[in-house]
Every structure is written in structure tokens, then in C-alpha cells.
Amino acid sequence: MGLPQETLYEKKEDIALDEWFVPIEKKKGEAEAVVRPSLSYWQEAWRNLGKNKLALGALIFLILLIIMAIIGPILSPHSISEQKLINQNQPPSSEYWFGTDSLGRDVFSRTWYGARISLFVGIAAAVIDFLIGVAYGGLSGYKGGRVDHILMRIVEVLYGLPYLLIVILMSVVMGPGLGSIIIALSITGWVGMARIVRGQVLQIKNYEFILASKTFGAKTYRIIRKNLLPNTMGPIIVQMTLTVPSAIFAEAFLSFLGLGIQAPLTSWGVMADEGLSAILTGHWWRLFFPTLFISLTMFAFNVLGDGLQDALDPKLRGGK
């Protein structure tokens, strides 16, 4: 468009082409080089994630949180269960950075200890969901036919079970505690992952590279591990990232109802439960710090999950 072809042509002829276009020096072999460095799927995903400032911020926050969960309780001179009854309900000060609770315990070290428990529950639930869900969904999707039909009927029934009700019932049966919460969360939690993996595998297994792999005589196990799984990793990682905040929420929810973590351990949910009465007496810091960190952590995981969803989606590759 723009200028008509002829005028362009005429103008070019006026100028000595050699002055304008100097051929660059060629080295042997360089002619084949691709200008843009070729990026693997993960490098590209990482680059895309880096462009999403909010998601990157969330990732940095989570790394800091993990570090604080490890070293936080050591930083404070007061241990999580140290009770000093003279120092009840002290507001935040240089001695107690986040104040103290009704038993004179240090809210600072309890908050970071709670971070340990919450992160542990969240990550453990995500990993267990991953292991069961990928195996189950992968098998169901890959085998197809009768196997798929039966496995999916089971999933359908489990999917109808109200998640938190089952978690509550399980933690009643196994007695409150860290282990039973994680088991309770995983009993129904893997179903979502299994459905996602099955859907992905169903789609991918008909692609030609799988057929090629089969023609070369690859065994089922090798096809699942080398061909199918790497190509389903995107949605799986997103699902795992989003499992963590819901597990953290479930733990806090249970602990808040008195069915979760028991003393002397503590978690953000327990602290929020204990701090509930404190808002009426004005001891805001007892509720503020645990609930602030529950919310920030869930926020960070949700944002990171959203960011990963965009970064790992092959349809959006190179875009944005």
C-alpha cells in the first residue's frame, strides 16, 4: 500500500545501491544460525512469567515466606510456647515484634511457625494430589474404553461428595492433627487433578508424535513418561499451584472450627480462632498478623497460578 510501486522503484534507482547496502561479513556456518535464540518450552514460559510483574512479585513473596517460615521462629528470642503471664496481650513493641497473646506468647514466632504448618499442609496436599491424580488420570485417559469408563464413574461419584464435609468427617475420625488433615484433604482432592490429566491425555494421545513413538516400538510406560506427561505439565502445574491455597484455606477453616491443628502446635487458623475474641477487647494484633498472612499467601498463590496459566498455555506462547 502507500506509495505506488513505480515511484518507489524509480527512487531506488537514483541512489547507488552499494552505498546503502553493505553486505555484512559472513563467517562460515553462520548463515544457518537463527537470529532469535531458540527457547525451550520452559524457558519461554519463564520469560512470559517474568513479564507478568504481579505474578513475579507473588513468586518473590512466596520465596521470602518460605525463608521466614524456616528462620522466622529462630529470629525471635521467644519460643512459640513460652508463656509469660506478666506479658499478656502486649501490643507490638521492640521486645515482642508482633505483640503477645492472652497467655503471653510471642505472636511473631507463632506467626512464622504457623507459616510452616500452613505451607507444609498446602504443599503436601498438592504433591499427593499430583501423584494420585496423574497416575489415575493418566491411566484412565491412556487406556480409554472400558477402563476409562469404570474409572470415570468412580471419579464422578467422588466428585459429587461435598469436599469440606468429607474433610471434616475424616479429621473427626482420625482425630485432629497435622497428618489427618493432609490425608483428609487428599482423599477427595486428587479427583480434580485426575480429571484434568485425563482430558489432556485423551487429547494428546491421538497426536502423530505418539504414533511415531509407537511405531519405533516404545513401551506404554515410556510413552506416558516421555511423551504424554511433559506435554500435560502446563495444566498440571497450574492445578497444583491453585490446590495449595485451597488446602491452606481448608486447614485454616478446620483449625478455626477447632477440628484442625492442636496445641502445642499452632497454625494461622488456630491463631485466628484464638484471636477472634480479642477484637472485642481491642487486641487487634492477635487477629491481624495471622489473618494478614493467610490472606497474603492465598493471594500470592492465586496470582501465581493465574500467571502460570497464561505463561504455560501454548496457545498464548510468544504473545502478550
- Is the bond into 264 cis (omega within 30 degrees of 0)? yes
Please report how close the Cβ of residue 7 comes to another protein at its closest, in angstroms.
37
d(CA 108, CA 92): 9
- Burial of 176-212, coded b for 16+ CB within 10 Å and e otherwise, reads bebebbbbbbbbbbbbbbbbbbbebbeebbeeeebee
For another protein, the closer CB: 100 or 118: 118
Cα separations in angstroms, 42 against 49, 236, 243, 253: 10, 14, 21, 35
Nearest approach in angstroms of CB 175 to another protein is 7
Closer to another protein by Cβ: residue 131 or 154: 154
In the complex, the smallest distance separating the C-beta of residue 256 from another protein, rounded to whole angstroms, is 5
**Least distance from another protein to the Cβ atom of residue 203, Å:** 15
Nearest-approach distance from CB 183 to another protein, in angstroms: 13
Which of 196, 224 has the CB closer to another protein?
196
Element (H, E) at 300: helix 284-312
CA atoms of 222 and 53, how far apart (whole Å): 38
105 or 283: CB nearest another protein = 283
Residue 106, strand partner residues: 100
Please state the closest distance from residue 30 (CB atom) to another protein, in A. 41
- Of 77 and 144, the one with the shorter C-beta distance to another protein is 144
Residues making contact with another protein (CB under 8 A):
153, 156-157, 160-166, 168-170, 172-173, 175, 245, 249, 252-253, 256-259, 272, 275-276, 279-280, 284, 287, 291, 294-296, 298-299, 302-303, 306
- Spatial distance between the Cα atoms of 148 and 183, rounded to a whole number of angstroms: 25
Nearer to another protein, 54 or 212 (CB): 54
Contacts of 129 by beta carbon, 8 Å cutoff, 6+ apart = 186, 189, 190, 192, 193, 239, 240, 243
